[in-house]
């Protein structure tokens, strides 16, 4: 693995009295695509929320591009270049594709070692997502779920993130969109964006990921290369949707 972009160590999180995450440890290298895998309720979304500073009760250490973000507010974490694409999309339904993109705009940024991070413009993003390119003036509320999913990813990229957390990009969208999403992730990787994605399905993860962590009941049960996981039927049967 290259220099770590994101390191999570001993992460715990609770909703009220209910502890959900138990000592999660993981890392994502620069330019890596890492899958956080597990069934419904395993704790994937909670892990992402805790990394983003969105869980009221959490403990442990999270380091992003050399910054300790463990006690930072979500807006401060976002400003450092950590992008989050939530499962529930949250586009502005009265605003057009271009207006939604404009809302995500942030200044270009550098990695902590001074190297320029990938810079995204509307033009580049409409080329990266050709179906958005065909509807720049359509209101978000009149798009399909898959198109909205792509718009959410594109809007996050307008912030020129160093790393994005992508919560279940293949969930509930048509197969053709799933394929486009996989291609997009590979393009982002080529451009130098690091990605931590959550996923239940090994087939999608296998298309895009370098490594995987497998979660069950808020604990990491296995980690290794995606190739190893794809060949490990026992782990898949025990913890994943096959």
Cβ nearer to ligand ATP, comparing 18 with 115: 18
Quick one: 87 or 122, whose CB is closer to ligand ATP?
A: 87
Nearer to ligand ATP, 22 or 92 (CB): 22
Shortest spacing between CB 168 and ligand ATP, in angstroms = 6
Count of residues in contact with ligand ATP, rule CB under 6 A: 11
Could you give the count of Cα atoms lying within 13 Å of 97 in the half-sphere of its Cβ? 24
Judged by beta carbon, residue 18 or residue 107, the one nearer ligand ATP is 18
Give the shortest CB-190-to-ligand ATP separation in angstroms: 28
Q: In whole angstroms, how close is the CB of 165 to ligand ATP at the nearest point?
A: 12
Residues 147 to 166 in contact with ligand ATP, rule: CB under 6 A:
none
Nearer to ligand ATP (CB atom), residue 15 or residue 105:
15
> Contacting ligand ATP (CB under 6 A), which of 20, 178, 202, 214?
20
- Residue 241 C-beta: closest distance to ligand ATP, Å: 10
Q: In what order do the strands lie in the sheet with 18-29?
A: 18-29, 4-15, 57-64, 67-68
Chain positions 33 to 92 lying near ligand ATP, rule: CB under 6 A, are 38, 40-46
Distances 12 to 9, 46, 123, 193, 195 between C-alpha atoms, Å = 9, 10, 40, 26, 21
Q: What residues make contact with ligand ATP under the rule CB under 6 A?
A: 15, 18, 20, 38, 40-46
């Amino acid at each position: 693995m290259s220099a770590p972009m994101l390191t999570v160590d001993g992460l715990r999180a609770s909703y009220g009295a209910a502890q959900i995450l138990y000592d999660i440890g993981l890392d994502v290298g620069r330019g890596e695509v890492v899958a956080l895998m597990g069934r419904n309720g395993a704790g994937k979304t909670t892990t992402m929320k805790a990394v983003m500073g969105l869980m009221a009760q959490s403990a442990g250490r999270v380091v992003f591009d050399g910054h300790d973000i463990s006690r930072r507010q979500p807006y401060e974490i976002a400003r450092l270049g950590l992008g989050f694409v939530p499962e529930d999309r949250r586009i502005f339904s009265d605003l057009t594709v271009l207006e939604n993109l404009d809302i995500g705009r942030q200044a270009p940024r550098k990695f902590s070692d001074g190297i320029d991070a990938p810079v995204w413009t509307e033009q580049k993003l409409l080329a990266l997502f050709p179906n958005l390119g065909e509807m720049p003036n359509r209101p978000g509320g009149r798009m399909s779920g898959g198109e909205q999913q792509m718009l959410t990813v594109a809007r996050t990229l307008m912030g020129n993130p160093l790393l994005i957390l992508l919560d279940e990009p293949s969930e509930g969208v048509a197969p053709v969109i799933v394929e486009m999403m996989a291609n997009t992730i590979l393009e982002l990787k080529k451009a130098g964006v690091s990605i931590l994605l959550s996923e239940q399905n090994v087939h999608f993860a296998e298309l895009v990921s370098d490594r995987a962590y497998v979660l069950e009941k808020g604990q990491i049960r296995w980690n290794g290369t995606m190739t190893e996981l794809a060949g490990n039927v026992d782990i898949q049967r025990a913890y994943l949707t096959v």
